[in-house]
């Protein structure tokens, strides 16, 4: 039997690596469409000789996209950016690029198209990121109505940009931020003992529902095996919803560090982001702050892991496997005791 051909745009990225491994295990021929094929050579080890092939393609260039999907049975688009810069814009990647992939996949006669978007996708989002994600979904469905949209929450795993970033930050500073806390602390008087408790965090800031990258890859595999999933929109979140403070507490627990959690109102953090976004690779932008103004959790109105027969992995089960490298060395811990 002839092997099925899959084209995965952005397949050398953090999420793509999980998906490529699972696709290769089925015996499929996988084209990993990326801008820099030299940097993507490592994906070859995920399959047999010649099974997984890096393929040069920039989704902003329709001719390259068309060549990458020519003869493909299934197309998956994982490409997305968190900030604009280095010649890339949200409009160019999230909207125009997504449209190029969908148009080319339809023209090539692909059976299925899976487009990975984000839970923050909303035409009314306060963030340009969220608005362009929504516009990208519309462009995809206009060109390929049977496409399946996948909206994950914050993605975590060994190479993530979220937990690894804050764990690295905890190595450098004694203070970690808790975004979205109230502008003024609340003072509470305990009637029994008369002590005053100061509530710095309110409801703990923005709520997130971190989802394991391997679970998203498994969800895509299940979507591709279910014809009924064509045309659906899936929202994927982990088993637990955390406030931003709870996320920081979980991070510190897994790195064995003690840090002061500083409540940061959105107004202040947006002022800080105004300076940070001018870095070549900004750690925070004003648009990302606007995105954090809304909770990043599943709405409950769309199908998700349950409908795909998947029980998502808890962050507590995975974080120790890769955050241990940020723990305080044993000798240093003893000397500080």
**Per-residue pLDDT at 183:** 58
Q: Would 219 be classed as within a structural domain?
A: no
Q: What angle do helix axes 98-107 and 128-143 make, rounded to 10 degrees?
A: 10
Q: Would 288 be classed as within a structural domain?
A: yes
DSSP state of 93: I
Task: Indicate whether 35 and 100 sit together in one domain.
Answer: yes
Q: Would 168 be classed as within a structural domain?
A: yes
Task: Indicate whether 186 and 145 sit together in one domain.
Answer: no
Task: Indicate whether 145 and 251 sit together in one domain.
Answer: no
Task: Indicate whether 15 and 147 sit together in one domain.
Answer: yes
**Per-residue pLDDT at 128:** 97
Ranges in the chain, pLDDT < 70: 1-3, 183-199, 330-337
Residue that is last in its domain, among 152, 180, 196: 152
Is 0.85 topped by the overall pTM? yes
**Domains identified in the chain, total number:** 2
Task: Indicate whether 28 and 123 sit together in one domain.
Answer: yes
Q: Would 108 be classed as within a structural domain?
A: yes
Q: Would 215 be classed as within a structural domain?
A: no
Question: Which tokens belong to 227?
Answer: 């014809």
CATH code at position 145:
3.40.50.720
Q: Would 226 be classed as within a structural domain?
A: no
Task: Indicate whether 61 and 110 sit together in one domain.
Answer: yes
Task: Indicate whether 176 and 49 sit together in one domain.
Answer: no
β partners of residue 112: 74
Q: Which structural domain range is residue 266 located in?
A: 163-206+243-293+323-327
Question: Which tokens belong to 297?
Answer: 């959790």
List Cβ neighbours of 142 (8 Å cut-off, separation of 6 or more). Answer: 99, 102
Task: Indicate whether 145 and 25 sit together in one domain.
Answer: yes
Task: Indicate whether 130 and 170 sit together in one domain.
Answer: no
Task: Indicate whether 136 and 15 sit together in one domain.
Answer: yes
User: DSSP E strands: which ranges in 194-304?
Assistant: 196-199, 207-208, 211-212, 233-236, 242-243, 260-264
Task: Indicate whether 182 and 88 sit together in one domain.
Answer: no
CA distance 337 to 74: 57
Task: Indicate whether 96 and 177 sit together in one domain.
Answer: no
- Which candidate, 29, 79, 25, places its Cα nearest to that of 54? 29
Q: Would 235 be classed as within a structural domain?
A: no
Q: Would 234 be classed as within a structural domain?
A: no
**Per-residue pLDDT at 194:** 47
Question: Which tokens belong to 100?
Answer: 């190029």
């Amino acid at each position: 039997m002839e092997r099925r051909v899959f084209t995965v745009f952005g397949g050398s990225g953090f999420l793509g690596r999980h998906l490529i491994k699972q696709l290769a295990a089925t015996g499929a021929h996988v084209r990993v469409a990326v801008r820099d094929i030299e940097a993507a050579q490592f994906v070859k080890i995920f399959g047999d000789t010649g099974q997984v092939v890096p393929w040069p393609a920039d989704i902003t260039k329709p001719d390259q996209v068309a060549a990458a999907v020519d003869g493909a049975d299934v197309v998956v688009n994982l490409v997305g950016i968190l900030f604009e810069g280095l010649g890339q814009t949200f409009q160019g990647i999230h909207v125009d690029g997504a449209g190029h992939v969908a148009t080319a996949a339809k023209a090539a006669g692909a059976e299925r198209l899976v487009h990975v978007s984000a839970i923050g996708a909303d035409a009314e989002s306060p963030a340009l990121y969220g608005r362009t994600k929504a516009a990208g979904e519309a462009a995809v469905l206009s060109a390929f109505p049977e496409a399946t949209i996948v909206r994950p929450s914050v993605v975590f795993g060994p190479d993530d940009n979220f937990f690894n970033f804050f764990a690295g930050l905890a190595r450098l500073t004694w203070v970690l931020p808790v975004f979205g806390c109230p502008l003024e602390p609340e003072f509470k008087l305990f009637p029994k003992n008369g002590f005053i408790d100061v509530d710095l965090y309110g409801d703990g800031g923005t709520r997130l529902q971190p989802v394991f990258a391997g679970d998203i890859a498994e969800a895509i595999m299940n979507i591709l095996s279910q014809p009924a999933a064509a045309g659906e929109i899936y929202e994927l979140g982990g088993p637990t919803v955390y406030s931003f403070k709870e996320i920081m507490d979980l991070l510190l627990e897994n790195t064995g560090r003690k840090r002061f959690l500083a409540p940061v109102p959105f107004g202040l953090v947006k002022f800080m982001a105004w300076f940070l976004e001018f870095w070549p690779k900004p750690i925070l932008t004003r648009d990302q702050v606007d995105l954090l103004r809304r909770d990043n959790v599943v709405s409950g109105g769309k199908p998700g892991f349950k409908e795909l027969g998947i029980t998502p992995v808890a962050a507590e089960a995975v974080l120790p496997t890769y955050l241990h490298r940020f723990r305080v060395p044993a000798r240093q811990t003893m000397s500080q005791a």
